[in-house]
């Protein structure tokens, strides 16, 4: 088995029940993705719409493509036919745009609401307050072709484990609040996407259900 394949098997063994691996393959070639696929991996994370379009053509049909990058409304049309889950919805406008596109092609698209809890202002997302306000506004229920399945977030890029843990806890807390509140009747609202190569263990301890791991599987990316 290849190094990439071995990594996939290691994660399969390590991740607890209820936590799924998103293998973040952005900027890596199809050959590398195929090595992970041959080891059994089916969920791959990408951050650019064009890259998903190309890789979708070249990879087997049963791959599930997750979009994890910042999404602009003018790219939604090109993304919606190929994507299984969009992790990074951060506005009502974007949600409406995905809904409209999904309706146009006759499907329903699963999405997560991206939360901003990190100290870096460069990161995207709704604050927990904005997210709860959006959910409580009733606007989401009117959108018949998107299904909000949970939340996604990133912790600050720091060595301070306590700070990382506190941010993940905030994400999980917001999820729990929404699940008990507006999404109480929505059993599909069940995903908490948090944790990357350097912090996924903390994320799992704090209640992640989807970890997004790139570098530690595929190596460094060359941009």
Ligand X SMILES: *Cc1c(COP(=O)(O)O)cnc(C)c1O
Would you say 32 or 143 has its CB closer to ligand X? 32
Residue nearest to ligand X (CB): 214
Burial of 18 (0-12, 13-18, 19+ CB in 10 A): exposed
Would you say 71 or 182 has its CB closer to ligand X? 71
Which range of residues in 72-80, 103-111, 167-175, 193-201 is near ligand X by CB under 6 A? 193-201
Total residues contacting ligand X by CB under 6 A comes to: 13
By CB under 6 A, residue 8 contacts ligand X? no
By CB under 6 A, residue 204 contacts ligand X? no
Nearest Cα residue to 59 out of 76, 42, 78, 79:
42
Report in angstroms the alpha-carbon separations of 186 from 127, 137, 144, 182, 183: 22, 16, 13, 8, 5
By CB under 6 A, residue 212 contacts ligand X? yes
In the chain, the DSSP E strands lie at 20-24, 43-46, 64-67, 83-89, 109-116, 146-154, 191-193, 210-213
* Residues 36-75 within binding reach of ligand X (CB under 6 A): 47, 68-69
| Nearest distance in Å: CB 116, ligand X | 12
By CB under 6 A, residue 196 contacts ligand X? yes
| Nearest distance in Å: CB 86, ligand X | 12
| Nearest distance in Å: CB 200, ligand X | 8
* Residues 124-163 within binding reach of ligand X (CB under 6 A): 154
Count of CB atoms situated within 10 Å of the CB of 109: 25
Are 136 and 182 spatial neighbours (Cβ–Cβ below 8 Å)?
yes
Nearest Cα residue to 49 out of 88, 96, 93:
88
Would you say 114 or 174 has its CB closer to ligand X? 114
By CB under 6 A, residue 24 contacts ligand X? yes
- Applying CB under 6 A, the residues found at the interface with ligand X are 24, 26, 47, 68-69, 154, 196-198, 212-215
């Amino acid at each position: 088995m290849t190094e990439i394949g071995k990594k996939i098997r290691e994660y399969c063994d390590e991740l607890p029940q209820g936590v799924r691996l998103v293998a973040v393959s952005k900027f890596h070639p199809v050959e590398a993705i195929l090595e992970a696929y041959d080891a059994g991996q089916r969920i791959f994370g990408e951050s650019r719409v064009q890259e998903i379009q190309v890789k979708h053509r070249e990879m087997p049909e049963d791959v599930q493509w997750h979009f994890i990058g910042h999404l602009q409304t003018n790219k939604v049309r090109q993304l919606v036919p190929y994507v299984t889950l969009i992790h990074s919805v951060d506005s009502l406008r974007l949600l409406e745009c995905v809904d409209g596109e999904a309706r146009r092609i006759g499907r329903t698209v699963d999405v997560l609401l991206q939360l901003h809890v990190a100290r870096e202002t460069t990161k995207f997302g709704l604050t927990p307050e904005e997210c709860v306000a959006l959910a409580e506004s009733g606007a989401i229920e009117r959108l018949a072709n998107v299904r909000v399945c949970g939340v996604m977030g990133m912790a600050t890029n720091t060595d301070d484990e306590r700070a990382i843990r506190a941010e993940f806890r905030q994400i999980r807390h917001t999820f729990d609040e929404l699940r008990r509140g507006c999404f109480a009747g929505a059993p599909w609202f069940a995903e908490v996407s948090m944790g990357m190569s350097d912090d996924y263990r903390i994320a799992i301890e704090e209640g992640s259900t989807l970890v997004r791991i790139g570098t530690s599987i595929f190596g460094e990316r060359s941009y």
